[in-house]
A and B are shown apart, each in its own frame.
Chain A
Amino acid sequence: MFSRILRHEWRLLSGDATLWLVTAVCAAAIGYGVWNGARWVRFQQQAIADASAEQAKRYDALQTQITALRQPGASVSPFADPRNPSSLGGRLGPKYATLPPAPLAALAIGQSDLLPYYFKVSTDARENIVSTTEIENPNRLLAGRFDLAFVIIFFLPLLILALTYNMVSAEQEQGTLALVLSQPVGTGTLVRGKVAVRATVLVGVLVVLAGAALLITGVNLTAAGAVPRLLMWIVAVTAYAAFWFGLAVCVSSLGQSSTANATILATTWLALVVVAPSLFNLIATSFYPVPSRVEMVQAVREASDEANKEGSKLLARYYEDHPELATGDAAQAMTDFNVVRVAVNDDVENRVRPVVQRYERQIAAQQQTLDRLRFFSPAILMQSALNDVAGSGVDRHRHFISQLDAFHAQWRAHFVPLIFAKARVTSLDTLPSFTFVEESTAVLWGRVGTGVMALLLPSLALAWFGFRRLRRYPVAG
């Protein structure tokens, strides 16, 4: 029976222009979205390659200079001397810490156009390092990108609703419903058949086309982690589609006219996809406002003014904390500019840390609020799932920042003793380097899985309610 309905529905659908229109629009949007994502990934990779080329060139020059300075009689200002650990660790020899795009980054541009993905790490204060950004026209940042995630979050529900809003009401309106239901067929079976055909076609088209688009745009699916991510993507997209099909079944079961169904579904879509996220964002930012960073700018400035004023006092305290660094001529070191600067930088960071943490606490509180509120908007759930899968979300970036902090600490730990010892750097090979360690797939599954569950539960509830009500569908009277 069920397979009969399936076959019949397929025949009806395929004879209808709507399906082909929807498929064509879907294909165009997917193709363009993936292409756009892939282009952005290539841009990022190019920028990272440029950065490492720049670093390599600089290091070659520094090495040549070091070799040249070995010649007797050669001299250079200490600020430009690569053998001087303070100059090398600071202005001359910073190394890049880069966040390479994840294997399937082309699936969602996410926050990657906003959050910087490369930093020049030196012995400078942390706040000076992390405040760099990629340049981009703010108008384009505001508009967002037309990527596959946009197609899925905003567009897919509309396509689903376009295919389902009148699946029962149209039969009612054209009069075939009474004839069908005068056969030994339940309304539930009929609708299940209708939904199954539409869902298979739509999700099938989506997955196949997205896969094809990924392959055509040259995304390497054999890269480490690509396959599990692709699986996660399919699961997440299916769950999201399930939600909208569930909603359509639910609204269909109310027995309203096609036009009324379309109005109800369009308004629900607007509420869940457009209004709810903005509103939740408003709630989160109103309850946990992050003050303008101008306050931080001032705090950093005041801290460095004070730190600079008491530079030598600070150094004395620094020696108390780090007696291992006190060399024989500590007294002379007290006046050494580079040595004082280490202590001052350290002090500024300590003073600024509580201010920075205040910002971070507020952002974390916002995130926490939204993490709870997102369960009321499938669009937010989907956004975070897609960003996770593509590795272009906030979590992977935070993971990167913590590695960046570790590298920054390592960099300093390498140079500070050299500065205090007034040692000379003779080789650049021993300097620490940064390599990004990817998040574990298990962690990723955990995050994506939560989102998928949060999508599936309401889908099931909606479908359950819908099918229950369908039993009492007003075929007549």
Chain B
Amino acid sequence: MLTAVDLTKRYNDVVALNALRLTIAPGEVFCLLGANGAGKTTTINLFLNFIEPTSGSATINGIDVTKAPLETKKYVAYIPETVMLYRNLTGLENLEYFAALAGRPDYTASQLLEFFARVGLPDGAAERRVGTYSKGMRQKVGIAIALAKGAKALLLDEPTSGLDPKASNEFSDLLRQLSADGVAVLMATHDLFRAKQSGTRVGIMKHGRLVAVHGTDEFTHADLERVYLEHMHD
């Protein structure tokens, strides 16, 4: 679903991403691990065509993102570290707007409310202004947008950082549901525990290179941490 072929991004002399090769199949949850500045966010930005690759290509559903940026965005949903919404609009109004932009202007209010229920937002939250939402609630709205959009791929940029353990756990559950529905997920994260828990594969990045890829079922949480730190050392 998500494919990167020799994807490279250079800023003058600094290589932010070096020849990334990656394929994420439907139903897979791929967690990108790595220090700050390792190239995780760059990868996501490249898939979103927010920045242009220096060389190589990123494709979504087999379509090159630089050639058909609008077409490819029909299939992905993006959840940043904090899902920023229009503060003066209610949750429902926000969802309606984004769903419409995503090409689904036909939802009725009750259908939209259903998405709120599915992501576990409390009753009545949909009618409140987003300005009053907690961070966990915002992230859930992000998932609701992805659901409403019927996204086939999900790009997550440290979506659980700063969430309390319960909210974080609920978020992971939602991710698992999505992947069970056949959504391909690419998630950049620092949270090894969540990566092990909700990921199917993990990739470790360093200085713009993907240095290791492992299945999460290969080892325990403690093993994952050891492998990660080994890579970080030198």
Contact = CB atoms under 8 A, between A and B. Distances in A.
Interface of A: 1, 4-5, 8, 11-12, 15-16, 174-176, 178-186, 474-477
Given A185-B70, A475-B50, A11 B89 contact: yes
A477 to B, nearest CB: 5
A178 B73 contact: no
Interface string B86-101: 1111000100011011
Contacts of B56: none
Nearest to A473: B50
Nearest to B87: A174
Given A12-B89, A174-B87, A182-B76, A476 B51 contact: yes
Contacts of A16: 88
Contacts of A11: 89, 93
B73 A184 contact: yes
Contacts of B105: 4
A426 to B, nearest CB: 83
Give the residue among A176, A179, A181 with the most B Cβ atoms within 10 A: A179
B50 A178 contact: yes
Interface residues of B, number: 37
Contacts of A182: 48, 73, 76-78, 155
A175 B142 CA distance: 13
A4 to B, nearest CB: 4
Give the residue among B11, B70, B155 with the most A Cβ atoms within 10 A: B70
Given A12-B89, A181-B50, A184-B73, A175 B101 contact: no
B84 A1 contact: no
Contacts of A184: 70-71, 73-74, 101-103
B121 interface: no
B98 A183 contact: yes
A156 to B, nearest CB: 26
B101 A1 contact: yes
13 contacts: A8-B97, A11-B89, A12-B88, A16-B88, A175-B84, A178-B50, A183-B98, A184-B70, A186-B69, A475-B50, A476-B48, A477-B16, A477-B42
Given A11-B93, A175-B80, A476-B45, A183 B88 contact: no
Nearest to A176: B84
B101 A4 contact: yes
A192 to B, nearest CB: 14
B80 A178 contact: yes
Contacts of B100: 1, 4, 8
B83 interface: yes
B61 interface: no
Nearest to B82: A175
B115 to A, nearest CB: 16
Nearest to A475: B50
B19 interface: no
B102 A179 contact: no
Interface string B12-55: 00001000000000000000000000000110010010110000
Contact of A178 (B76, B78, B97): B78
- Return the 9 tightest CB-CB contacts between A and B, nearest first: A175-B84, A182-B78, A476-B50, A183-B101, A184-B73, A475-B50, A15-B88, A184-B70, A476-B45
B85 interface: yes
B164 to A, nearest CB: 21
Contacts of A474: 51
Contacts of B103: 1, 183-184
Given A179-B78, A179-B84, A182-B76, 17 more contacts: A4-B100, A4-B101, A11-B93, A178-B48, A178-B84, A181-B73, A182-B78, A182-B155, A184-B71, A184-B102, A476-B45, A476-B48, A476-B50, A477-B11, A477-B16, A477-B42, A477-B45
A171 to B, nearest CB: 9
Contact of A4 (B84, B88, B97, B142): B97
A184 B74 CA distance: 5
Contact of B83 (A12, A179, A477): A179
A474 B52 CA distance: 10
A175 B157 CA distance: 13
A469 to B, nearest CB: 14
Contacts of B84: 174-176, 178-179
Nearest to B88: A15
Nearest to B149: A183
A73 to B, nearest CB: 94
Interface string B122-141: 00000000000000000000
Nearest to B81: A175
Nearest to B93: A11
Nearest to A173: B84
Nearest to A15: B88
A146 B88 CA distance: 37
Given A4-B100, A182-B76, A184-B71, A176 B50 contact: no
Nearest to B97: A8
Nearest to B72: A184
Interface string B144-181: 01000100000100000000000000000000000000
Nearest to A186: B70
A402 B95 CA distance: 68
A468 to B, nearest CB: 15
